Chains A and B, each alone.
Chain A
Amino acid sequence: MSETVLHTVGLRRQFTLPRESLFRPPETVFALNGVDLSIQRGRSLGVVGESGCGKSTLARLCMALDTPTAGHVEVLGRDLSQLSAMELRQARAQFQMVFQDPYGSLDPRHTVRRIVGETLEALAPRQGDGTSGVSREEAIGQAIDAVGLRRNDLDKYPHEFSGGQRQRIAIARALVTRPSLIVADEPVSALDVSVQAQVLNLMQELQQDFGVTYMLISHDLGVVDYVCDEVAVMYLGRVVELAGRAQLFAKPCHPYTKALFDAVPRIGAGRRSGADRASTLQGSVSSQTRQITGCAFADRCPRAESRCLDEAPELRRIDDGHMASCHFA
């Protein structure tokens, strides 16, 4: 039953910055520093972290939109870096992506039919092929039904839709090839609260109906808590804690995860007084252009000791299905 849909092994990605001086070597951004994750079929993994933690780089690598500096990505057991361009193109039917900005990710000059159908066109060039005998039109129709739009919307253009409806179109486009894996990078952060709930509910329904596996990238812990089975917390290109949703939210082990939870403003908690303020995490994420020897979080961590500066903590097992990388966890 449990089949691994996505598996990443020691994933690293470094970007070289433009040279700033003739006399110094160009600087390097260490965006991902060894990420090992896997997602079983029909499950969903949430990836949380602040900007610059490498979550979007991770998404791009998993979608083979970028190549890792080291390590590799396996989708359904196939190593994406070993595939030829043609094979990769066909394999893309198995993994699709939903982007953050529903205004920028849909071509304004194409009809919905063309936007949704383009995926089929590109991935399964022969008519009817790859959609198990159903005609292309029917596949597009089914995808548009599944996301709760009407079939006579197919001839409209993106500007005729609201933000939430556009995000539905983007999901239909990802769904039309019946992929095993959908990676959604901040799918609801551009939407209003009342509309956000509609899209989140839709994502859950689709998972039940089609058995899709999700990797959901979000900075919003509430969204991740609602949609995901497992959660990975990232900090400066590393996974610092990985656990089942209930476990993680009940008992966060890594000091960064705890700080992240404490920082989320709670409704009905009353106005923050001086005592509450003391718990706020100080400082900001340190530079990504430095190779860090010890724990990446040590400079902001309230518990840091000299050991944390010298020795990088391994991601180790704390409890059943609960991993954290902290010397004190």
Chain B
Amino acid sequence: MALLSVDDLHVELQTNRGMVPAVRGVSFAVEAGGTLGVVGESGCGKSITALALMGLLPEGARVRGRIDLGGTDLLGLSEDEMCHVRGNRIAMIFQEPMTSLNPVHRIGRQIAEPLRLHRGLRGANARDEVLRLLDRVGLPDPAKRIDAYPHQMSGGQRQRVMIAMALSCEPDILLADEPTTALDVTIQGQILDLINELVDDSGMGLILISHDLGVIGETTDNVAVMYGGSMVEQGPTDSLFEHLAHPYSQGLFAAVPRVGERHDGPLHTIPGTVPELADLPPGCAFADRCAKASDVCWGPAPGMAEVGAAHHAACHHLGGAV
């Protein structure tokens, strides 16, 4: 039994053009100590999936499906009950360490907040625990920095504070939404190392959302590729990157310029642009940009089919693609 399993999750968001499907039938599972990477471009539904797990969807959103965390369906919980899960059993790290910390509170107080709320720690006990956490995430000189304000820290340090906060209640699942996108490469390396180390040590499950295939490759054991609100390919990271089955995954992979692998021809491109969620084509969402598209692609959307060991893809033309 997986620690977290998401089954046929649908999310519709309220926009000025009516209800728009942002996530369309996403299913995945994360074991304790397992790592799942979610890749996709903007508007593919990866962040909305994360917000649905946290119960933080914008007002007016409609959710269907099942999010099972250790036997409880999170979608069936009331807001009060969800407050005990959020930050306690599932914690999240956001992309922008600049805006996700409160600028008017010292970081020590911000990290202590979940400790007070979920673990009932007070005063000196809470402070000791905060110091231990800051030390754990590798912030230099925690005894001094505990009373600093967020603006007195660099981007990488702020992200370490965010991670300390997420870890404070020893969550079962850590959700990281583009945790290193706003950081420089050398700092990104440090933060990814830290996340890897914490997952290895604590045995929590990790869901890492990123548009950067390299970050996903170095941090996760399993990967899911999303496009237009659905998962188009899913499998173990190594075998998926070795045998990309879906035309979108292949295109995405080929479009990344990589150091030291310059070819003399132009870079491979995917024609067109990422679709607006409100204008998704009826069948396969990728059909209008796909080189392999035929009449069948405009009909019913393709289901997930097995293409390798634990490796699935949703495409009508898998035979020709592999």
Inter-subunit contact B266/A201 (CB<8 Å): yes
**Residues in A whose Cβ lies below 8 Å from that of B187:** 50, 284
Complex interface residues of chain B between 170 and 212 (CB less than 8 A to chain A):
184-190, 192-193, 196-197, 211-212
Residue interface bits A26-65, CB-to-B below 8 A is 1, else 0: 0000000000000000000000001100000000000000
Partner-contacting stretch, out of B2-10, B17-25, B255-263, B312-320: B255-263
Asked if A87 lies at the interface with its beta carbon under 8 angstroms from chain B, I say: no
Assembly CA distance A222 to B193 (angstroms): 21
Asked if A200 lies at the interface with its beta carbon under 8 angstroms from chain B, I say: yes
Given A193-B252, A194-B255, A264-B274 contact (CB < 8 Å)? no
Partner-contacting stretch, out of B47-55, B94-102, B216-224: B216-224
Complex interface residues of chain B between 243 and 281 (CB less than 8 A to chain A):
251-253, 255-262, 266-270, 273-274
Asked if A269 lies at the interface with its beta carbon under 8 angstroms from chain B, I say: yes
Please tell me which one of the listed residues B193, B257, B269 contacts residue A223 in the complex, with CB atoms under 8 A apart: B257
**Residues in B whose Cβ lies below 8 Å from that of A201:** 266-267, 269
Q: What is the size, in residues, of chain B's interface with A at 8 Å between Cβ atoms?
A: 49
Inter-subunit contact A194/B259 (CB<8 Å): no
Asked if A265 lies at the interface with its beta carbon under 8 angstroms from chain B, I say: yes
Complex interface residues of chain A between 259 and 279 (CB less than 8 A to chain B):
259-272, 274, 277
Inter-subunit contact A263/B237 (CB<8 Å): no
**Residues in B whose Cβ lies below 8 Å from that of A250:** 260
Residue among B190, B211, B241, B261 with max Cβ neighbours from chain A (10 Å): B190
Assembly CA distance A280 to B259 (angstroms): 18
Asked if B41 lies at the interface with its beta carbon under 8 angstroms from chain A, I say: yes
Given A271-B196, A272-B192, A281-B186, A265-B215 contact (CB < 8 Å)? yes
Nearest A residue to B43 via CB reads A192
**Residues in B whose Cβ lies below 8 Å from that of A264:** 185, 214, 259
Given A226-B262, A265-B214, A277-B186 contact (CB < 8 Å)? no
Residue among B35, B221, B261, B267 with max Cβ neighbours from chain A (10 Å): B267
Assembly CA distance A285 to B187 (angstroms): 9
Assembly CA distance A223 to B251 (angstroms): 17
Please tell me which one of the listed residues B193, B253, B255, B266 contacts residue A272 in the complex, with CB atoms under 8 A apart: B193
**Residues in B whose Cβ lies below 8 Å from that of A284:** 154, 156-157, 186-187
Inter-subunit contact B41/A193 (CB<8 Å): yes
Assembly CA distance A194 to B228 (angstroms): 14
Inter-subunit contact B211/A194 (CB<8 Å): no
Assembly CA distance A285 to B196 (angstroms): 23
Complex interface residues of chain A between 186 and 214 (CB less than 8 A to chain B):
192-198, 200-201, 204-205
Inter-subunit contact A197/B255 (CB<8 Å): yes
Inter-subunit contact A265/B218 (CB<8 Å): yes
Assembly CA distance A280 to B186 (angstroms): 7
Nearest A residue to B253 via CB reads A267
Asked if A101 lies at the interface with its beta carbon under 8 angstroms from chain B, I say: no
Residue interface bits A170-200, CB-to-B below 8 A is 1, else 0: 0000000000000000000000111111101
Nearest A residue to B157 via CB reads A284
Given A50-B186, A260-B185, A280-B193, A271-B218 contact (CB < 8 Å)? yes
Given A164-B273, A194-B41, A272-B185 contact (CB < 8 Å)? no
Assembly CA distance A271 to B187 (angstroms): 18
Inter-subunit contact B185/A277 (CB<8 Å): no
Given A195-B274, A268-B241, A277-B193 contact (CB < 8 Å)? yes
Residue interface bits B153-170, CB-to-A below 8 A is 1, else 0: 010110000000000000
**Residues in A whose Cβ lies below 8 Å from that of B270:** 194, 197
Inter-subunit contact B186/A259 (CB<8 Å): yes
Assembly CA distance A9 to B2 (angstroms): 62
Cβ of A68 to closest chain B Cβ, rounded Å: 25
Inter-subunit contact B186/A260 (CB<8 Å): yes
Asked if B213 lies at the interface with its beta carbon under 8 angstroms from chain A, I say: yes
Nearest B residue to A268 via CB reads B241
Nearest A residue to B187 via CB reads A284
**Residues in A whose Cβ lies below 8 Å from that of B221:** 271
Nearest B residue to A194 via CB reads B270
Inter-subunit contact B258/A222 (CB<8 Å): yes
Assembly CA distance A268 to B238 (angstroms): 6
Asked if A162 lies at the interface with its beta carbon under 8 angstroms from chain B, I say: yes
Inter-subunit contact B241/A280 (CB<8 Å): no
Asked if A135 lies at the interface with its beta carbon under 8 angstroms from chain B, I say: no
Given A50-B186, A194-B41, A194-B274, A270-B238 contact (CB < 8 Å)? yes
Asked if A103 lies at the interface with its beta carbon under 8 angstroms from chain B, I say: no
Nearest A residue to B271 via CB reads A198
Offer 12 A-B interface pairs, CB within 8 angstroms, sorted by A: A50-B184, A162-B273, A197-B267, A197-B268, A245-B262, A265-B214, A266-B258, A270-B218, A271-B35, A271-B218, A280-B193, A284-B187
4 smallest CB-CB distances across A and B, nearest first, come from A265-B214, A226-B257, A50-B184, A197-B255
